Structure 1
């Protein structure tokens, strides 16, 4: 019986600093990923937020599933800083997560520093 190609969700099962970003993706742990990322306590995941509304609460379900292990969520909003919409701010606050929106580049740099400090940090990074 022939098996077709198996497509799995992109997942790196550990925490790692982001080595580079740009050209629509990221480099970390001697690997590269095209597209957006969620960097969570359980690992780094490929992330496909809703293109029409990438900051919709539904795009952050995986973050909320790990809420007890996250104090700060850095949200890399692309090349420009965008305020988080009220519904997203409210759902994160209800889960005791402080969210900090910034450009993706600033979010990557801040994530790396906080990760090195062993802080309870996560990042949602929209690819640039």
Structure 2
């Protein structure tokens, strides 16, 4: 008997976030526990759980899709946090504007911009 296979969380499409809280998110009639990275290529499970520890390496997938993303919304948990200047500089150099805000505000803004078919991405840290 084979053991449990743990696969990377991935939804191949764009979908609005239906709900957030309790350490996760609901979208496309599914739920995900943990943080999310919503990109044009799909919605990925995302490791970061602390906005104070975000690094450029956490955004490799965003940089890989730079041509398809004009704006990145970063949901920093329950409160607004400033992103490291080196990170925002690297995103700007890649042609991606970046806005940090609370996760709730980022979810709401992402949903509006997604409905407007804008080139938006979101990096959302889960909140309880």
Structure 2-normalised TM-score? 0.95
Is there any run of 5+ residues in structure 2 with no aligned partner, and where? Answer: none
**CA offsets per residue over residues 45-102 of structure 1, 9 Å max, x none?**
0000275854211111111111110000000000010011111111101110000000
CA distance in structure 1 between the aligned counterparts of 2:86 and 2:49, rounded to whole angstroms: 15
Other-structure match for 2:100: 101
8 Å Cα contact 2:50-2:76 kept in structure 1: no
When residues 100 and 8 of structure 1 are mapped into structure 2, their CA distance, relative to the original with a 3 A threshold, is same
Aligned residues: 127
Matched, 1:35 2:43: no
- Cα pair distance change 1:51/1:105, threshold 3 Å: closer
Tell me whether 1:110 sits opposite 2:115 in the alignment. no
Specify the SS of the correspondent of 2:15: coil
The structural deviation recorded for 1:13 is 0.2
What TM-score, normalized by structure 1, do the two folds share? 0.95
CA contact (8 A) 1:74 1:107 kept: yes
The alignment yields a C-alpha RMSD, in angstroms, of 1.3
Distance change (3 Å), C-alpha of 1:115 and 1:81 = same
Q: Single out whichever of 82-91 and 104-113 deviates more from structure 2.
A: 82-91
Aligned to 2:118: 119
Q: Provide the C-alpha distance between the structure 2 equivalents of 1:114 and 1:26, rounded to a whole number of angstroms.
A: 18
**Secondary structure in structure 1 of the residue aligned to 2:86:** helix
